[in-house]
């Protein structure tokens, strides 16, 4: 059971009372100082693996980067902590309905990477619907924020619930209860995204350490001429995008209905699409890049480049961690990675009979840190590009981030699709078998010393 030593008065309660203004910073810090003297120097949390200690971000070290934002800790430690507190935090849960009707009622022990994928996707949706500068206020629940949160509640009719992700993983060769790797969770999110028509997020999972620009443009660009229908068709309400056929295919395979997946077959351009002159709209992009940056440990030549990824404004962080022990990395401080840890078990949360959702358990008061050298080499990079201009900016800047002199880059960015690759199908519910990254079969004695997915070694 998870508990904070500083539990008699929560930081979030105090923040909700006095707000975020800088003039209140000294008050909050003074309160934190008094609580630490009363309960000990460190705030502690009980995890399944024992006691894990949390320390405040040190004010005597260099700046911290959190998902593209830089904070000088000597002056803005509180702002950095509020940024962490505002990220959606998904952990193990227990007591939810059986997955698949007869499956497990908890994901403890196997769902950490699924939860990390949820956190990264949730951050992309916060970017899209609320913006990067949105901050959580416990006493002021925003309607849009609650709508995002409900997509992840632990029940079968939530679009990105543990139920939907675990069951969709069956199509990726994973039984319910199996551990996922970064690529698998990315592929599952990609297949589930068409069901969230409200967000209309274009999800792309890069293959073979290569990001193909023309593939992403095909995926994100929607020409209004492809959505025009005859007057007779409009009278019958049959206007649909061509790409909805993949949504129907997925729904058929999962035996889901529009009512219990929050999907609405769209008419015309989607809400939130960025429309440019000429009737062309751009769907916001969630880009996932699975990588393996070494054999059994991360190659030192990639450490600085990985840290630089957190400086980009499009950064959604990294999912990874250690073999069979995943974390969601949201920042970097010196040579340490800042992360949210899903490895605590909380009761399943849901909307009560008064239509209220107790959401404090979806926010973490303290981030954890680990040396970057301890990071497992199997990771998934995440980026969010809200508009075409944003994507063009990312394409320009990422080249300087992932390259270092004459050394090979972390991954390739190419304008066109390699000739030996099969044609790209933007709305396909599956990927070509020859390009699917499948789990390795390790000998039993080596299982705990290796990551779970096969990549081209860089």
**Measured between alpha carbons, how far is 299 from 84 in angstroms, rounded to an integer?**
28
Give the confidence band of 172 by pLDDT, cuts at 50, 70, 90: confident
Domain that holds residue 433: 58-449
Q: Please, are residues 13 and 138 in contact by the beta-carbon 8 Å criterion?
A: yes
Question: What is the pLDDT, as a whole number, of residue 273?
Answer: 52
Lowest-pLDDT range of 156-170, 275-289, 316-330: 275-289
Q: Give mean pLDDT, residues 213-217.
A: 96
Higher per-residue pLDDT: 455 or 22: 22
Give the confidence band of 379 by pLDDT, cuts at 50, 70, 90: very high
Question: What is the pLDDT, as a whole number, of residue 279?
Answer: 53
Are 78 and 46 within one domain? no
Lowest-pLDDT range of 78-92, 111-125, 183-197, 217-231: 217-231
Lowest-pLDDT range of 135-144, 190-199, 349-358, 437-446: 437-446
Are 435 and 335 within one domain? yes
Structural domain total, the chain: 2
Let me know if residue 455 belongs to a domain. no
Q: Please, are residues 332 and 372 in contact by the beta-carbon 8 Å criterion?
A: yes
* CA dihedral sign, ordered 445, 450, 453, 458: negative
Are 345 and 440 within one domain? yes
Sheet of strand 274-276: strand arrangement: 221-223, 280-282, 274-276
**Measured between alpha carbons, how far is 154 from 345 in angstroms, rounded to an integer?**
13
The pLDDT tens digits of the residues spanning 297-307 come to 999 999 999 99
Q: Please, are residues 106 and 92 in contact by the beta-carbon 8 Å criterion?
A: yes
Q: Give mean pLDDT, residues 118-122.
A: 98
Residue 71 has pLDDT above 70, yes or no: yes
Residue 326 has pLDDT above 90, yes or no: yes
**Measured between alpha carbons, how far is 209 from 203 in angstroms, rounded to an integer?**
16
Q: Please, are residues 89 and 351 in contact by the beta-carbon 8 Å criterion?
A: no
Alpha carbon 288 to its chain's center = 9
Question: What is the pLDDT, as a whole number, of residue 352?
Answer: 85
Are 222 and 250 within one domain? yes
Let me know if residue 457 belongs to a domain. no
Let me know if residue 225 belongs to a domain. yes
Are 280 and 366 within one domain? yes
Q: Give mean pLDDT, residues 309-322.
A: 95
Last residue of a domain, one of 55, 71, 88: 55
H/E stretch holding 148 = helix 143-150
Give the confidence band of 140 by pLDDT, cuts at 50, 70, 90: confident
**Measured between alpha carbons, how far is 117 from 290 in angstroms, rounded to an integer?**
12
Are 210 and 95 within one domain? yes
Give the confidence band of 9 by pLDDT, cuts at 50, 70, 90: very low
**Measured between alpha carbons, how far is 209 from 409 in angstroms, rounded to an integer?**
10
The pLDDT tens digits of the residues spanning 243-260 come to 443 444 434 444 443 334
Residue 174 has pLDDT above 80, yes or no: yes
Are 280 and 401 within one domain? yes
- What's the CA angle centered on 401, arms 399 and 406, to 5 degrees? 70
**Measured between alpha carbons, how far is 411 from 168 in angstroms, rounded to an integer?**
28
- What's the CA angle centered on 174, arms 261 and 431, to 5 degrees? 75
Residue 189 has pLDDT above 90, yes or no: yes
Are 212 and 305 within one domain? yes
Parallel, antiparallel, or unpaired for β 202-205 and 285-292? Answer: parallel
Are 361 and 388 within one domain? yes
**Measured between alpha carbons, how far is 289 from 291 in angstroms, rounded to an integer?**
6
Cite the active site residues: 112, 341, 343
Are 172 and 23 within one domain? no
- Find which of 71-85, 269-283, 353-367, 423-437 is predicted with most confidence, using mean pLDDT: 71-85
The dihedrals phi and psi of 414, each to the nearest 5 degrees, come to -125, 150
Q: Please, are residues 152 and 308 in contact by the beta-carbon 8 Å criterion?
A: no
Q: Which tokens sit at 1? A: 């059971």
**Measured between alpha carbons, how far is 359 from 148 in angstroms, rounded to an integer?**
12
The pLDDT tens digits of the residues spanning 92-116 come to 999 999 999 999 999 999 999 999 9
Are 229 and 297 within one domain? yes
Last residue of a domain, one of 18, 37, 55: 55
Let me know if residue 454 belongs to a domain. no
**Measured between alpha carbons, how far is 198 from 188 in angstroms, rounded to an integer?**
18
- Mean pLDDT estimate for the chain: 77
**Measured between alpha carbons, how far is 227 from 79 in angstroms, rounded to an integer?**
45
Phi-psi category of residue 385: left, alpha or beta, with phi > 0 → left and psi -120 to 50 → alpha:
beta
Residue 184 has pLDDT above 70, yes or no: yes
**Measured between alpha carbons, how far is 342 from 251 in angstroms, rounded to an integer?**
29
The pLDDT tens digits of the residues spanning 436-454 come to 444 433 333 333 334 444 4
Question: What is the pLDDT, as a whole number, of residue 31?
Answer: 37
The pLDDT tens digits of the residues spanning 16-46 come to 444 444 544 444 334 334 433 443 433 333 3
Are 209 and 285 within one domain? yes
Let me know if residue 456 belongs to a domain. no
The pLDDT tens digits of the residues spanning 391-450 come to 999 999 999 898 877 678 899 999 999 988 898 887 766 544 434 444 433 333 333 334
Last residue of a domain, one of 10, 36, 55: 55
Let me know if residue 17 belongs to a domain. yes
């Amino acid at each position: 059971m998870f508990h904070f030593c500083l539990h008699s008065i929560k930081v979030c309660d105090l923040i909700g009372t006095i707000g975020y203004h800088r003039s209140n910073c000294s008050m909050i810090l003074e309160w934190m100082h008094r609580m630490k003297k009363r309960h000990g120097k460190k705030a502690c949390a009980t995890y399944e693996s024992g006691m894990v200690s949390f320390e405040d971000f040190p004010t005597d070290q260099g700046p911290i980067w959190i998902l593209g934002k830089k904070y000088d800790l000597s002056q803005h430690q509180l702002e950095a902590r509020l940024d962490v507190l505002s990220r959606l935090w998904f952990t193990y849960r227990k007591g939810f309905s059986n997955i698949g009707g007869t499956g497990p009622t908890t994901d403890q022990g196997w769902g950490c990477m699924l939860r990390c994928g949820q956190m990264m996707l949730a951050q992309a949706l916060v970017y899209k619907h609320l913006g990067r500068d949105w901050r959580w206020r416990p006493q002021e629940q925003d309607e849009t924020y609650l709508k995002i949160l409900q997509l992840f509640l632990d029940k079968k009719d939530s679009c990105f619930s543990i139920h939907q992700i675990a069951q969709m993983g069956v199509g990726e060769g994973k039984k319910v209860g199996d551990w996922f790797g970064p690529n698998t969770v990315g592929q599952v999110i990609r297949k589930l995204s068409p069901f969230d028509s409200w967000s209309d997020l274009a999800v792309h999972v890069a293959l073979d350490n290569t990001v193909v620009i023309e593939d992403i443009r095909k995926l994100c660009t929607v020409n209004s001429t492809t959505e025009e229908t005859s007057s007779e068709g409009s009278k019958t309400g049959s206007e649909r995008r061509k790409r909805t056929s993949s949504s129907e295919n997925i729904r058929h395979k999962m035996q889901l209905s529009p009512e219990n997946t929050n999907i609405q077959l769209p008419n015309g351009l989607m809400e939130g699409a960025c429309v440019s002159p000429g009737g062309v709209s751009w769907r916001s992009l969630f880009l996932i890049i699975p990588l393996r940056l070494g054999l059994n440990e991360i190659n030192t030549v990639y450490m600085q480049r990985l840290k630089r990824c957190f400086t980009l404004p499009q950064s959604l962080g990294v999912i990874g961690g250690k073999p069979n022990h995943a974390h969601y990395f949201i920042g970097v401080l010196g040579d340490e990675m800042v992360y949210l840890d899903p490895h605590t078990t909380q009761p399943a949360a849901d909307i009560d009979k008064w239509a209220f959702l107790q959401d404090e358990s979806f926010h973490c008061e303290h981030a954890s840190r680990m040396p970057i050298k301890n990071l497992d080499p199997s990771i998934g990079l995440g980026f969010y590009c809200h508009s075409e201009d944003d994507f063009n900016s990312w394409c320009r800047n990422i080249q300087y981030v992932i390259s270092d002199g004459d050394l090979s880059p972390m991954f390739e960015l190419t304008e066109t699709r390699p000739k030996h690759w099969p044609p790209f199908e933007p709305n396909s519910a599956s990927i070509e078998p020859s390009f699917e990254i499948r789990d390795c079969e390790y000998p039993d004695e080596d299982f705990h010393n290796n990551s779970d997915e096969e990549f081209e070694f860089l």
